[in-house]
Chains A and B, each alone.
Chain A
Amino acid sequence: MSAATTNHRGRALLAAAAVGAAGMAATYFLDGAARFWANWLLWFVILACLALGTLFLVALQHITGSLWSVPMRRVPERIAALTPWLVPVAAVALFSVPAVFSWTQPGADAVTPLVLKSAWLNYPFFILRLAACLALWMLSYHLLVRRSLRQDESKDPRVTVSLRRFAPAFMIILALTITVFAFDWVSSLEAAWYSDMFGVYLFAGAVTTAIAATTLGVIYQRRRGRLPGVTEDHLYNLGGLMFGFTIFWSYIAFSQYMLQWYANLPEEVFWFQQRTSGKMEGVFVLLMAGHFFVPFLGLMMRSDKKDWRRLRWISIWVLFMEFVDVFWLISPIAGKGLNLGWPEAAFALFFLSAGLLVVSRAMSRGPDMPVGDPFLEDGLKFHLR
């Protein structure tokens, strides 16, 4: 691709982001702070899920020593370039805490569960946890991705060894931080609510999303001839992972729902009632059908997972479903009913184009495959059957 088109596209993305930013500012002043913060948090969560999910995919490859994913590893590594950008997004998001989080609202000290949770949900500790999470994510990004990028030149196989050694540690970091993140930034919005498995829920969505984004990136790069040697058989494995994590997400989502539906305890079930009744009921049904049945049936056959066209539209659909999922989680805090209108479009425009800008800028730098990885050769030879 010529530099001119890249610049052209970059400028278009910048313009779109600017329009989105204007819409966001207008939201704050015309539609109130609650709606602004709901959208900001929504995109904060989606970006964090994408960054952490792609880091997870990278670490997963190092842990399992899988060969098929080596030639495509650069794509999740590039998407993980969103990680440093989480810092400014999170910094702004901190201002939402006094505005919309239920445990900061007047009268919170009269609600028993909130009093019980106050040892965890208080400003200093909350900010400390956010800082710790961001620091650990930046460190992981540095250790997992930056070193792999430097290996392109050094061609030092010892880097691969140390990446493989760090990957398991990252898994523990991820398990802890994504749980803390999910509890703090999503479930503590309704701090009276309890769900132990909420961290796993967010994790399952994050990985599904990361696989979809990676698949889209791989298809995009491959069609431009930038991943020579990556065949349908490689894509097949991405499709298989997407299929598997679709089921995993559904399993977790259903388990969380069914337990609370069965027990029917007031301190738990109110949360689901807000999200399954009234206008949110439509979103709930869409989520059930769209997040499970579409990718499940769409990726079932072996030939489905090799068909890049099909993979492309299912990936786009899965990304859309992640948006629906997080929207379903967060939007009820901004008031009753369904909040979907121009403010949501403006936020989507801004964050999508800014995110694409970050990722495409990262992708245009350096080799498209991990050329220093000693397993690249073997990875390219991978075939099914």
Chain B
Amino acid sequence: MRKPAYGVLALFPSADALLKAIPKVKARGYAQLEAYTPYPVHGLDAALGLPESKLGVLVFLMAAFGAVGVFAFEWWANAVNYPLLTGGKNAFTWPAWIPPTLEGSIFLGTFTAALAMLFIFNGLPFFGHPLLQTKTIDEITRDRFALLIVPSGAAFDEADAAAALRAAGGAAVETLPAPSHETPDAAWWTRTALAIAAACAVAGGATAFAIRVFPTVKPMVNMEVQPRLDAQEPDSFFANGRGMRLPPAGTVPRGGTPILAASLDAAGRELIDPLPVTEFVLERGRRQFDRHCAVCHDRLGTGRASLSSVYTAKPADLQSSTMRKIADGSLYWVISQGYNTMPAYAADVSPDDRWAIVRYIRALQRSQDAPERDLK
């Protein structure tokens, strides 16, 4: 059986001729028309009787979604989840979020416009469109205006359609055959998938190669290159050839407190907590503890933090009876010196803050093991 034709096509010399022909063809009872023009023609939509496109609504919705989504995300990330204070501004720095908000709406808007236009409204993918196989496609993309009568109903007479087009002033009338295959077969999908995979592999490989082989170019090195000695750098000035100096024996840096004790136990006997008992100290301790210790010891000090599953060492349970009994000075000593796999915090946490942490650990212990009079 012969497949029904895709339609009957005719060429017109100008946009005007096309617009004039449409009502004539319609008058002969052909309502389903399609036009192909090299550029958008004013009045064509109305002449063909096309309704206003719904694309705008779709684009608006997606663009609004992009704007609101990005703004909300920025707000959550910068003001809620991890409040970031920069340049003395508060965490709700909305002006800084406007550019990404704009980008978000443009991004979703344009992609929606292009993709929805192609795939939802224009019916792509359409492989092997019959128009592409005509002799006249070159002219249609250049300076001719084509009108296609689309068959509707069973009784479609190609000859009559051709006559209608000719009567309306159309030339080069031809019948377009039905599309050879409208949906791609499995082989096509395989080929396409392989091609995409190959493209990804090439692009990825080239990027990796470029990063490895070529030195990365630094756009601005003013901050990095300075006339100063960095840590561990050699220097010819001193006899031992090192840039870094050790403090002279028996000295204490300004603002530093010497660690008097030689051992955990000695520290427990010798060191005395110098801080006053105030809410400020406890609050300070809480913030330092949550910042430095909670990752391993958990916020309650139980030693079962979220990190436990991937962290092979076993952080001490600060709520254990040993830890309850250990002296304040010993805790201070552990924080300062570290303890086996437990890292030292002398470099990161000031002495006062270390004492504040000790204070807070005491509060934590009491909170988990409160004597009855505390509960009254």
List residues of A whose CB falls within 8 A of some B CB. 254, 257-258, 261-262, 264, 300-302, 383-385
Does B248 belong to the interface (CB within 8 Å)? no
Other A-B contacts than A258-B95, A384-B42, A385-B45, 20 sampled, CB-CB below 8 A, are A257-B95, A258-B96, A258-B98, A258-B99, A261-B95, A262-B87, A262-B95, A262-B96, A264-B87, A264-B88, A300-B60, A301-B56, A302-B52, A302-B56, A383-B42, A383-B43, A385-B42, A385-B43, A385-B44, A385-B46
* Distance, CA A383 to CA B46, complexed state (A): 11
Give min CB distance, B335 to chain A, whole Å: 38
In the complex, chain B residues whose CB is within 8 Å of the CB of A302: 52, 56
A-B interface contact total, Cβ < 8 Å: 26
| SS of B interface (majority) | helix
* Distance, CA A264 to CA B44, complexed state (A): 54
Binary interface encoding of chain B residues 41-80 relative to chain A, with 1 for a CB under 8 A from any of its CBs, else 0: 0111110000010001000100000000000000000000
User: Would A254 and B52 count as touching, CB distance under 8 A?
Assistant: no
List residues of B whose CB falls within 8 A of some A CB. 42-46, 52, 56, 60, 87-89, 95-96, 98-99
Give min CB distance, B177 to chain A, whole Å: 32
| SS of A interface (majority) | loop
Q: What 5 A-B pairs have minimum CB-CB distances, sorted nearest first?
A: A385-B45, A258-B95, A385-B46, A261-B95, A264-B87
* Distance, CA A300 to CA B99, complexed state (A): 21
* Distance, CA A301 to CA B54, complexed state (A): 11
Give min CB distance, B102 to chain A, whole Å: 9
Which of A261, A264, A384, A385 has the most B CB atoms < 10 Å from its CB? A385
Name which residue of chain A comes closest to B46, CB basis: A385
Give min CB distance, A251 to chain B, whole Å: 9
In the complex, chain B residues whose CB is within 8 Å of the CB of A257: 95
Give min CB distance, A255 to chain B, whole Å: 9
In the complex, chain B residues whose CB is within 8 Å of the CB of A301: 56
* Distance, CA A264 to CA B89, complexed state (A): 9
In the complex, chain A residues whose CB is within 8 Å of the CB of B96: 258, 262
In the complex, chain A residues whose CB is within 8 Å of the CB of B60: 300
* Distance, CA A385 to CA B42, complexed state (A): 5
* Distance, CA A262 to CA B95, complexed state (A): 8
Name which residue of chain B comes closest to A261, CB basis: B95
* Distance, CA A269 to CA B43, complexed state (A): 52
* Distance, CA A301 to CA B89, complexed state (A): 38
Q: A264-B88, A300-B60, A301-B56 are in contact. Are A254 and B98 (CB under 8 A)?
A: yes
Name which residue of chain B comes closest to A300, CB basis: B60
* Distance, CA A126 to CA B198, complexed state (A): 68
Q: List 9 A-B contacts (CB under 8 A).
A: A257-B95, A258-B98, A258-B99, A262-B95, A262-B96, A302-B52, A385-B42, A385-B43, A385-B45
* Distance, CA A77 to CA B45, complexed state (A): 34
Give min CB distance, B320 to chain A, whole Å: 50
Name which residue of chain A comes closest to B40, CB basis: A385
Give min CB distance, A293 to chain B, whole Å: 12
* Distance, CA A257 to CA B93, complexed state (A): 13
* Distance, CA A258 to CA B99, complexed state (A): 10
Name which residue of chain B comes closest to A384, CB basis: B42
In the complex, chain A residues whose CB is within 8 Å of the CB of B89: 264
* Distance, CA A4 to CA B99, complexed state (A): 56
* Distance, CA A302 to CA B42, complexed state (A): 15
* Distance, CA A197 to CA B206, complexed state (A): 43
* Distance, CA A302 to CA B54, complexed state (A): 11
* Distance, CA A301 to CA B53, complexed state (A): 12
* Distance, CA A264 to CA B96, complexed state (A): 13
Name which residue of chain B comes closest to A259, CB basis: B95
Give min CB distance, A296 to chain B, whole Å: 11
Which of B46, B52, B95, B96 has the most A CB atoms < 10 Å from its CB? B95
* Distance, CA A384 to CA B52, complexed state (A): 12
* Distance, CA A257 to CA B52, complexed state (A): 39
In the complex, chain A residues whose CB is within 8 Å of the CB of B95: 254, 257-258, 261-262
* Distance, CA A364 to CA B242, complexed state (A): 92
In the complex, chain B residues whose CB is within 8 Å of the CB of A261: 95
In the complex, chain A residues whose CB is within 8 Å of the CB of B99: 258
In the complex, chain A residues whose CB is within 8 Å of the CB of B46: 385
* Distance, CA A385 to CA B89, complexed state (A): 50
* Distance, CA A383 to CA B43, complexed state (A): 7
Give min CB distance, A260 to chain B, whole Å: 10
* Distance, CA A250 to CA B87, complexed state (A): 25
* Distance, CA A193 to CA B30, complexed state (A): 69
Name which residue of chain B comes closest to A303, CB basis: B52
Name which residue of chain A comes closest to B52, CB basis: A302
Name which residue of chain B comes closest to A251, CB basis: B102
* Distance, CA A261 to CA B87, complexed state (A): 10
In the complex, chain B residues whose CB is within 8 Å of the CB of A264: 87-89
In the complex, chain B residues whose CB is within 8 Å of the CB of A262: 87, 95-96
Give min CB distance, B130 to chain A, whole Å: 27
Give min CB distance, A281 to chain B, whole Å: 14
* Distance, CA A113 to CA B95, complexed state (A): 27
In the complex, chain B residues whose CB is within 8 Å of the CB of A300: 60
* Distance, CA A383 to CA B45, complexed state (A): 12
Give min CB distance, B45 to chain A, whole Å: 5
* Distance, CA A39 to CA B44, complexed state (A): 52
In the complex, chain B residues whose CB is within 8 Å of the CB of A384: 42
Give min CB distance, A12 to chain B, whole Å: 44
Give min CB distance, A298 to chain B, whole Å: 14
In the complex, chain B residues whose CB is within 8 Å of the CB of A385: 42-46
Name which residue of chain B comes closest to A301, CB basis: B56
* Distance, CA A257 to CA B45, complexed state (A): 43
Give min CB distance, A237 to chain B, whole Å: 13
* Distance, CA A254 to CA B42, complexed state (A): 36
In the complex, chain B residues whose CB is within 8 Å of the CB of A254: 95, 98
* Distance, CA A264 to CA B88, complexed state (A): 9
Give min CB distance, A273 to chain B, whole Å: 13
* Distance, CA A163 to CA B187, complexed state (A): 63
* Distance, CA A192 to CA B56, complexed state (A): 46
Give min CB distance, A71 to chain B, whole Å: 17
* Distance, CA A385 to CA B60, complexed state (A): 21
Give min CB distance, A114 to chain B, whole Å: 27
* Distance, CA A383 to CA B87, complexed state (A): 54
* Distance, CA A335 to CA B45, complexed state (A): 58
* Distance, CA A131 to CA B48, complexed state (A): 58
Give min CB distance, A42 to chain B, whole Å: 27
Name which residue of chain A comes closest to B50, CB basis: A385
Name which residue of chain A comes closest to B98, CB basis: A254
* Distance, CA A384 to CA B88, complexed state (A): 53
* Distance, CA A257 to CA B89, complexed state (A): 15
Name which residue of chain A comes closest to B44, CB basis: A385
Give min CB distance, B56 to chain A, whole Å: 7
* Distance, CA A254 to CA B44, complexed state (A): 40
* Distance, CA A369 to CA B210, complexed state (A): 65
Give min CB distance, B71 to chain A, whole Å: 14
* Distance, CA A376 to CA B95, complexed state (A): 47
In the complex, chain A residues whose CB is within 8 Å of the CB of B43: 383, 385
Name which residue of chain B comes closest to A254, CB basis: B98
